Amino acid sequence: MTITTSYKRKSILRSAYLPIALCMVLYLGSVSFGSESNPTVQKPLATSQTPPSGIEMGLNMKFLSLSLKDSIVYALRNNFDIEISKLTSNIKDYEITVQKSKYDPTLELEGTIENDETPINSKLVGGLETTSINPFIEKGKTANAVIQSLIPTGATVSLEYNIFRDFLNPSPFSLLNPSYENYVEAKITQPLLKGAGWFYNRSLIYIARNNKKISLAQFKSKAIEVSDTVQVAYWNLVKAIEDLKVANKSKERAEDLLKKNKIQVETGTLAPIEIIDAEAGVASRVEAIISAENAVKDKEDELKKIMNFADTDIISDAAVIPTDKPDFEPKRVELKETIKIAMRKRPELLELQLKTENADMQTRRRKNELYPALDFTAGMRYTGLGEDLEDANDSTFSEEFQGEFFTLALEIPLGNRSARSKYNKSKLKKQQASLNVKKKELDIVVEVRKSVRQVLTNIERVNATRKARELAQKRLEVEEKKYRVGRSTSLEILRAQEDLATAEGNEAKAIIDYEISLGNLEKAKGTILDAYDIKLEEEETKT
């Protein structure tokens, strides 16, 4: 249902509205929400606040020395998922511009030519001497220009210029032939209910800005995930290298036993069977070394894959030499403080909070759309007439012929089921977004508690395995003393050596697991990038 009321009158004030309307069109269309240059796209590459130690490459690319920090930075710069996240973030910049562009002024130009010939059935028009049917000729040319713009209150302001040239033949009653008629009209239409208000008309810009922040949060989440994956792969490579060292050390012990046994057999103080046992021990250690070397290559490939070294054949064939060594320094971890940090720093939580804000703004928009449309229109027009274009323009801008108009239009949707359904749907989405935030907060608490427990557990494991390694070392020393006086055998020595190698491997694994658990804790807190002094360029541009 549409109800329209109009009011039109002449005004004594002839020069007030036109300059104001012209300024509104030219200025308000380019306010801060409508004018923006092309955004400068910042690529959110991973950077380091302090110069990294660098990637040291050996002679003929035989090896590649990498610190953990260098590995993370390299992975962030080359990971495909990170590159995709960068592009997504850049796309959001243009989406903000798209929402702002609705405030850009528009210019409409139109031209029309009409030629009409109609028969005359009147001596009054054709002349008293007319005895035949002659054509009545009318030739019209129209040009129209309109510039208009939307402003943040929801109003549309416009300025229109129109000129019409009319030629009549015959024209017994025309004062001017041809004649030029033109007018200049300034108009503003302001919604008062539906679609009205600063917030409603800017809310899509706010949502687009939040979407940009969401994309940055997603990018940071991906960067944190990649960083954690790198640190796990890096320390696993270190663990594989430590296992290889343990295997080589065990082989050296077995070879030393074999050498001593050969000397004793030659001197007749030891049975030849002891040489066989010692040789079997050496062979088993060689097999362990082969397996350990293969494990090192596997862990190297895992790290190279994350760092995307596969694109460079020369680098991908080089051996990776980790320069960071595991250093066991027990750290005190406060659970409550760690949870507080995680609640502030986790980008996934920020992402969901921003989505909740967007859902709230959408709900407010949908509520506004429940209202009926009540639009107020006001404007004024200056009209002119002349025998040529210059005379017509002089007549128009002399402000002798001025009109004003006011319109109030009301449109009430009957039923309004679509708007109500969208409003109810938006409220449910808002509730859903709020629940997602609460669920993520609970997930973060559980994840942090688990990470803290893992750190504390690994501290105890390191202490336990270190004690076990010390006892295994003492047991080997005891067996060697007994062996020298003939109270032990080569098998017992080899068994003690194997137990020591196992204890050394367990200690190394516990220390590596402790380093990994520290990285996992930083990931759970959302501070793993800070822990390795790595920043993203997008964060730097905001500061």
Structural domain boundaries in the chain: 1-30+105-150+155-194+373-411
Q: How many CB atoms lie within 10 A of CB 213?
A: 17
**Model confidence pLDDT, tens digit, residues 320-339:** 899 999 888 888 889 999 99
**Model confidence pLDDT, tens digit, residues 187-197:** 999 999 999 99
CA distance 452 to 521: 7
Alpha-carbon dihedral sign for residues 219, 326, 292, 71: positive
CA distance 357 to 319: 49
- The predicted model scores a pTM of 0.78
Alpha-carbon dihedral sign for residues 59, 64, 69, 70: positive
**Model confidence pLDDT, tens digit, residues 371-413:** 999 999 999 999 988 888 888 888 888 878 889 999 999 999 9
**Model confidence pLDDT, tens digit, residues 474-517:** 999 998 898 888 888 888 888 898 899 999 999 999 999 999 99
Structure tokens belonging to residue 267? 């001197």
Above pLDDT 90, what percent of the chain?
Answer: 55
Is 128's pLDDT higher than 70? no
Task: From 158, 157, 152, select the one nearest 195 (Cα to Cα).
Answer: 152
